[in-house]
Structure 1
């Protein structure tokens, strides 16, 4: 291996990484005592704040921590964290940092009550009262202060000395951080650390903080070093493969440039995750592609100095040499689960010992191309949501809690028949399906593997291996089934790959696959199916050699997933008769021309179970068009594939119609029709593929008009013998084809295409809910991000930017005073000025204001938009159809037909205001007219009459009378236009016909909006509303050691920092130099 070297400054500090910290300190429970008394001002508190921040950065999600700010009282900077330890997730740590920056400095320091509160809190957790199911390991108190006024022996004797087993036990370590140059009672604060298994540090400047804050890790690691035999294997939580600030800032700029270039493209959240989160393609870094980081976990072990005590028999030492580790991309876990064997709508996921998600298809790690701050602390209860009609946020179901607790406990088992609700299409759609959950522990790790499967079609798979082997014997080569360029394979699945992927540079997965197909078809290559790259080369011969990679591996070693590749070849053969070329050549013998011409079909496609996607255009595609497979190449992982299978399970042989969201007024916009293809064998059926067409949406609208033209509406009967205004073409009604989630597929107005029906016809959507056509589903997004934009101005403080500006202002003031004296004495007498002062006062003030305005206008004011993203919870009210094609049509009738009433008022403009003369004003304006609908007319025709409105004086009198009366709010009564809804057989469509004879009505507070809204938790803010997760069960990491009998013989417990020593040495040298000079002056 050749390490890449460069001349840039390396700011990466491995000691701050979670894999290093977890390996040397295991799990910790820590209370940080921050002195906020009156003496902690200026530079001292700046150092204290930085020390607290640096210590918080050394904690991981396996640690629990809190900060107690004390003076004459003790309090937590975040009130909701009172009397508890919180998990040191990144979001909780950030909240503590922000709270520390705002603590007030006041009062005197009462160290007795501060230590008492800290010891009592840790004792409650040690006894198991504070957090159920998680035993304590390392406990510590970290004191940050500028001095201790007195001895605290009594406190430590009371809370930190136990002799229950015959040996003195000190359960809590005490680390002390003394700040400032002029300090007193140093011996007392040293004694605190030395007699409580801790470490003492004296810091005088900001530069010392980072290094000194890390020293406590070696002290906590002493028990592990002293035992010397066991090296605990530690796995970290998920993180991105960059942690250095310089690298992350560069990455953010790269991603920002890409987002600017492609800001007009509407990517779904899943597509955004795929574009910015990758696997192990490190070659992309060289070309500065978009996908610049990957999610990973690390496995690490501590490295001890086992011979330190042998070399020096005079004292006991416990030196930690470092940590050895290995990064494991999460993509490797996904590859091992073989998603193609799990099948559509099934998935595997990993849960940590803390209940957090390590791998899950619903985990959203990216926002705007950059990792979310809390992507590695998403709890299982925040993703798996049971359909239990819960309308309150953060109320997990009992089944979800049972699943989580079993997986956290590293158990093996299953929970069957859980009704799960899940989102599709970037959380715009929702669906419900019964799932079976299976789980088992991953040996040697703190992780538990879960498997979610649909109970019917999810328990079977297609075995095509033997069938294709017969074709191989017939001499058919693999490349024969992959002609043209209109085909794609799943980009995330491993079909074949070289172990050393840099041997061959493949630009696409398809190029890599064809390379191995040619290699396979070449008889001279002596093809072998190497399935697992982690096994030795002679595994087929039965001679396993677990030598941990000591044997050399050939550079051209490759491996292929035999089941996946053979399944792909079998499916390619099956569809080759239809998709053998890039262009769709219509064949009359197959009766293809008639439907193509009738609907003006532009393309057809198929996507198979093994990840193959093929498509054909009726006419040759121009080079400027985007290819279907470039954005639809993930087969069973595509949302439309999942939805099509779900529709088939509800209604076999159905067609799913789909249009883009907010498609707009483009009449040439296309609609996509999907249908599922199943393989049947032995009385069972398994999803094998999804096929479909694309055609213009106006053709579907024309078909709707044609089918409904026999319906006779009032306007239709007026034109006997004509069908132009009959059915859905009539102006008396509005016809909509909605999908199962309430989005408009076909409407009279093309502007409505792809919009939520609640935005198109609000009253009608509420009416559909009331008659049971749609069910309102509550979906919570606990991984949401709220973007806050603030306009910041730099003009108000520009005078204080540099000392030069201040000097310039001083000189201007002095010059002004000199000119004033000169004018008063030589140019204008003060007496004369007094005579005209009052006459010209107004002009003086005006001129002065004008001058000030000119000065302000001349001063440049720079503004910029500050964008901040914060974690938040959001809620959506989504729709799910609640009727089948066998149900009778559902009807909503307005009990009180609307009486059309409105007032016409001429808008006030500059033109009509000027046209009103004084005479007209004296005579008064003509009374306004009110148009009211009256009964009568033939065949539903509406007639109108006009009447004078009361004059303006009477209106004013009425308004005065109403002002004196107390307002009474009448209860809102919902009303809507009449409508009828019917499920279209064998489709995902619902036909809704709305009466247009009455106007659209306001649904008021019952309006149904599907847009996301931020969840309001009343008086609780982030992260307080996430505290219930803090109390859920967790499992302690194995191999944790908190004490060792030889540790008491270690006499090292800290000292002053090197800068303090160098300062003393400098003063000594200076005094010696002065003495020498004096002696020299006396002698000479």
Structure 2
């Protein structure tokens, strides 16, 4: 029961609090070995570590040395006060045990706490006799605390919460301060987006306290409750429309602790239940340094962060305005691909909140936008004519036009909603209403004109219409008889689908081969898979690659790692080729769209073998790719195999096939190795990181080439569009469907009641629990998951992956770069190879001699657990600066008049559980 009490006390804490737990008998020692003479920030990860330590601890014998424990606690709190660490506000020591060992405690109080009593003492008697209970109550009452006796598991939760109730007294007594509190991010109800995928959405709660202002015969300070609401984070993100940030631009928000409210690399939502149960609490304390990965930071340790990122973090937690520029690593496709780029950061405070907002733009193309709109209101043409057919979609998360949430209007799809508003825009009296309507009040919510109020983003909608108009003109141009030769090329390469995705969120496609969807088809259609085309990785990669090679296409195939079951469906593997379209004006270029196509890999393979199996005119060659002497590969810019003579290798990382050659390509700077760290990783309990043999290599020498046959494929497309600028973010609903951060999924063990250990908790600050669900009637507290319980699922961990990126400047299309491996076999043979850039693409041709049997080293791009694991011991040394909440009320001169300081019997649970929910939220502003 003592363990349950300590666990419940930990549940009252939040990221604005600092805590440590000491176990005392005849000696005093930290319960967790990582927290020696310190107070740890009470983020969910720390709470989990401490709970695991509590439930894994053993009862020790010996006399209770409470005097020594209190002295240790006061010394730590005094040191934190003197040095300005911690919260610098409320301070408390909670003593949990059966009593005893109280002799000499008054001397400790006189030395450290009397007469001003800056530290409150809370005592929780678990077992013991009445005399020891009296001594414990006296400790609490003479130090502005509270005492309770816990006789049953059902009492633990609501009696523990007296601590929070007492800490709120000074604020209640002043009556004037009603701080607004924003909770850390959590996963709440389903999104109300028209394209809702059924997953939960990120939420935050905003609340203010309600005080009891009545006069009582006996002095009291009661908190009546809170008023507040739950805010979908998507509603906040809507205020920073993504289309205004452009492709590869993004925004994020950071609170006073440096934790992100949202960020494109914040990954909290997992469909797998085992992930949810084990990892759910951790996303509420993801630091900005966990998600912004600098190219020049130390590759082996995340502790040695560069000053640029730390300066950005410091300015944002202090809510300053500013801007900076940094080079970052950008991971794609589940951390299988990587790129690097320079980004510009613009940041400033969000007034009235603990947050700062940052807008991030890629340097170069990200600093310009295409402004091209088509006027709608006075257009002589019905603009809905540009949206005929069913071969188009718009971004389902962007707000083009929408009615107020109280409207009776419903739509089955974003496209239907758009057409509805486009039709309205052509009628007399149309107004754009580009300012969002204010929240409806209760007395006018029933009025139809208020319920049917709407919002339209004029810039986004008119940009969308402009894009649709240009695409229609392009379709008419391509359909002209003079373009029949282009159609021949489509059939030559077996192009199944061609498409265009624009900066306004429009996706339009043409199916050149019958790929109609059937009821039993498990593969989603291209348009369903990429409705959010602007956010897709192929769109982002195409725009990024344009800055390297403006005339090139980016080719990719589905990823494989060799563990997939054999495919007997007979469906052809498709190659995705994309190309970014930029518009230039006055020497500046901005991305307007990405065009692309799907074509069958088999057709590409046939052309590849035809080209590489014949000699060029007038030359004599003894070896070709058709023979057994050579292995020929087409690799992409991240080292993945697009084509080889073995079809099963398509989509695999080349290092898995021949790590020895891949190593040599890295040594000769054709590929660059980039280590990417993931601080939100998930690891199975059974760890089996790969390993590979390591053969020493020497750089290269001789062979082959590949021509420019890709040019035929690339000339299918024409210059397009005159557009860029537009987008906005998700619909969301405000469902009160909460998920508790800390899931207690272990059944209560019968022997817990007999385990009456003695603990002391030091608490600096005392914010609130990070739970956001209405309290249930208190029942027996369940034991939180122990470390051993995690083995059945996954656990949080730091992972890293060694990824590769092509260094195009090392290669050219005219001459191959040749090399050879030596001393890789006892026969003394050599293994020559040749590398050549394929024009107008992100691909290279690699030809390897097979006659010399060199060692079969294997490399992998899959993430592995980083050395040292992820634990509190690793986290603490990188403790980063934070800003205390603005308001702090920890003292009122008349509080001494309040007589209530403890009770031993049962209390009515409903009242206290409700009061605690209030205090939990309120007290964050007193920390």
Fold conserved (TM > 0.5)?
A: yes
Q: Distance in 1 between matches of 2:834 and 2:480?
A: 40
Q: Distance in 2 between matches of 1:194 and 1:572?
A: 74
- Superposed CA deviations along residues 440-470 of structure 1, whole A, max 9, x for unmatched, are 01101001101111121111212223xx12x
Q: 1:740 to 1:83 in 2, by over 3 A?
A: same
Match of 1:212 in 2: 159
Does the alignment pair 1:982 with 2:849?
Answer: no
Superposed, which structure 2 residues align to 1:276-315 within 5 Å? 279-281=191-193, 291-306=198-213, 308=214, 311-312=215-216, 314-315=217-218
Match of 1:881 in 2: 806
Q: 1:97 to 1:474 in 2, by over 3 A?
A: closer
1:892 to 796, 811, 819: 819
Q: 1:1060 to 1:897 in 2, by over 3 A?
A: closer
Does the alignment pair 1:622 with 2:534?
Answer: no
Q: 1:507 to 1:1058 in 2, by over 3 A?
A: same
- Kindly state the Cα deviation for residue 93 of structure 1 after the two structures are TM-superposed: 1.0
The question of whether the paired residues in 2 share the 8 Å contact of 1:487 and 1:615 is answered with yes
Q: Distance in 2 between matches of 1:1060 and 1:710?
A: 89
- Kindly state the Cα deviation for residue 1034 of structure 1 after the two structures are TM-superposed: 0.5
Superposed, which structure 2 residues align to 1:28-39 within 5 Å? none
Superposed, which structure 2 residues align to 1:807-956 within 5 Å? 867-884=792-809, 885-886=811-812, 889-896=816-823, 898=825
SS at 1:1045 equivalent:
coil
Match of 2:585 in 1: 681
Match of 1:1079 in 2: none
The question of whether the paired residues in 1 share the 8 Å contact of 2:335 and 2:863 is answered with no
SS at 1:367 equivalent:
coil
Does the alignment pair 1:176 with 2:119?
Answer: no
SS at 2:67 equivalent:
helix
Does the alignment pair 1:140 with 2:45?
Answer: no
SS at 1:1048 equivalent:
helix
- Superposed CA deviations along residues 832-859 of structure 1, whole A, max 9, x for unmatched, are xxxxxxxxxxxxxxxxxxxxxxxxxxxx
Please, what TM-score do these two structures have when normalized by structure 1? 0.69
* Stretches of structure 1 lacking an aligned partner (at least 5 in a row): 1-46, 162-167, 243-277, 538-545, 719-725, 791-800, 802-863, 901-932, 936-975, 1062-1084
The question of whether the paired residues in 1 share the 8 Å contact of 2:818 and 2:832 is answered with yes
Q: 1:293 to 1:536 in 2, by over 3 A?
A: closer
1:521 to 426, 429, 436: 426
Q: 1:588 to 1:369 in 2, by over 3 A?
A: farther
- Kindly state the Cα deviation for residue 602 of structure 1 after the two structures are TM-superposed: 1.3
SS at 1:576 equivalent:
helix
* Stretches of structure 2 lacking an aligned partner (at least 5 in a row): 688-749, 751-788, 910-927
Match of 1:412 in 2: 321
1:747 to 635, 644, 650: 644
Does the alignment pair 1:53 with 2:7?
Answer: yes
2:490 to 592, 596, 615: 596
- Superposed CA deviations along residues 632-672 of structure 1, whole A, max 9, x for unmatched, are 12132111111001110111121111111129787821111
Match of 1:942 in 2: none
The question of whether the paired residues in 2 share the 8 Å contact of 1:482 and 1:580 is answered with no
The question of whether the paired residues in 1 share the 8 Å contact of 2:199 and 2:271 is answered with no
SS at 2:589 equivalent:
strand
Match of 1:157 in 2: 110
- Kindly state the Cα deviation for residue 1043 of structure 1 after the two structures are TM-superposed: 0.9
Q: 1:518 to 1:369 in 2, by over 3 A?
A: farther
The question of whether the paired residues in 1 share the 8 Å contact of 2:836 and 2:845 is answered with yes
Q: Distance in 1 between matches of 2:908 and 2:396?
A: 58
Q: Distance in 2 between matches of 1:637 and 1:324?
A: 37
Q: Distance in 2 between matches of 1:762 and 1:63?
A: 49
Q: 1:107 to 1:865 in 2, by over 3 A?
A: closer
- Kindly state the Cα deviation for residue 1060 of structure 1 after the two structures are TM-superposed: 12
Q: 1:1026 to 1:389 in 2, by over 3 A?
A: closer
- Superposed CA deviations along residues 402-443 of structure 1, whole A, max 9, x for unmatched, are 111111111111112x11111011111000001111110110
Q: Distance in 2 between matches of 1:667 and 1:477?
A: 41
Q: 1:409 to 1:230 in 2, by over 3 A?
A: same
Match of 1:733 in 2: 630
Q: Distance in 2 between matches of 1:579 and 1:750?
A: 35
- Superposed CA deviations along residues 1044-1084 of structure 1, whole A, max 9, x for unmatched, are 111122111121123799xxxxxxxxxxxxxxxxxxxxxxx
Does the alignment pair 1:74 with 2:28?
Answer: yes
The question of whether the paired residues in 1 share the 8 Å contact of 2:248 and 2:361 is answered with yes
SS at 2:220 equivalent:
coil
Does the alignment pair 1:655 with 2:553?
Answer: yes
2:872 to 999, 1023, 1033: 1023
1:351 to 251, 254, 277: 254
Q: Distance in 2 between matches of 1:1036 and 1:173?
A: 20
SS at 1:533 equivalent:
coil
Does the alignment pair 1:128 with 2:24?
Answer: no
The question of whether the paired residues in 2 share the 8 Å contact of 1:716 and 1:730 is answered with no
The question of whether the paired residues in 1 share the 8 Å contact of 2:378 and 2:426 is answered with no
Superposed, which structure 2 residues align to 1:606-645 within 5 Å? 606-624=500-518, 626-645=524-543
Match of 2:893 in 1: 1045
1:777 to 665, 668, 674: 674
Superposed, which structure 2 residues align to 1:488-503 within 5 Å? 488-500=393-405, 503=408
SS at 1:727 equivalent:
coil
- Superposed CA deviations along residues 705-754 of structure 1, whole A, max 9, x for unmatched, are 333345489x9857xxxxxxx63223221111111101011111111110
- Superposed CA deviations along residues 874-903 of structure 1, whole A, max 9, x for unmatched, are 110000112335486332212347456xxx
Q: 1:359 to 1:72 in 2, by over 3 A?
A: same
SS at 2:793 equivalent:
strand
Q: Distance in 2 between matches of 1:1060 and 1:238?
A: 31
- Kindly state the Cα deviation for residue 788 of structure 1 after the two structures are TM-superposed: 3.3
- Kindly state the Cα deviation for residue 623 of structure 1 after the two structures are TM-superposed: 2.9
1:326 to 217, 226, 229: 229
Q: Distance in 2 between matches of 1:644 and 1:439?
A: 27
- Kindly state the Cα deviation for residue 1002 of structure 1 after the two structures are TM-superposed: 3.1
Q: 1:1024 to 1:1042 in 2, by over 3 A?
A: same
- Kindly state the Cα deviation for residue 1040 of structure 1 after the two structures are TM-superposed: 1.8
Does the alignment pair 1:992 with 2:846?
Answer: yes
Q: 1:781 to 1:364 in 2, by over 3 A?
A: same
- Superposed CA deviations along residues 262-299 of structure 1, whole A, max 9, x for unmatched, are xxxxxxxxxxxxxxxx5345x99xxxx86242211111
Q: Distance in 2 between matches of 1:401 and 1:233?
A: 28
1:508 to 396, 408, 413: 413
Q: 1:609 to 1:70 in 2, by over 3 A?
A: same
Q: 1:1060 to 1:746 in 2, by over 3 A?
A: closer
Q: Distance in 2 between matches of 1:389 and 1:58?
A: 36
SS at 1:141 equivalent:
strand
Q: Distance in 2 between matches of 1:508 and 1:343?
A: 24
Does the alignment pair 1:1010 with 2:864?
Answer: no
Match of 1:63 in 2: 17
- Kindly state the Cα deviation for residue 550 of structure 1 after the two structures are TM-superposed: 8.9
Number of equivalenced pairs: 788
Match of 2:742 in 1: none
Q: 1:86 to 1:549 in 2, by over 3 A?
A: farther
Please, what TM-score do these two structures have when normalized by structure 2? 0.80
The question of whether the paired residues in 2 share the 8 Å contact of 1:605 and 1:693 is answered with yes
Match of 1:951 in 2: none
Q: Distance in 1 between matches of 2:480 and 2:859?
A: 46
Larger helix share, 1 or 2: 1
Q: What value does the CA root-mean-square deviation take over the aligned residues?
A: 3.0
Does the alignment pair 1:708 with 2:612?
Answer: yes
The question of whether the paired residues in 2 share the 8 Å contact of 1:180 and 1:205 is answered with no
The question of whether the paired residues in 1 share the 8 Å contact of 2:67 and 2:101 is answered with no
Question: Which of 1 and 2 has higher RCO (CA within 8 Å, sep 6+)?
Answer: 2
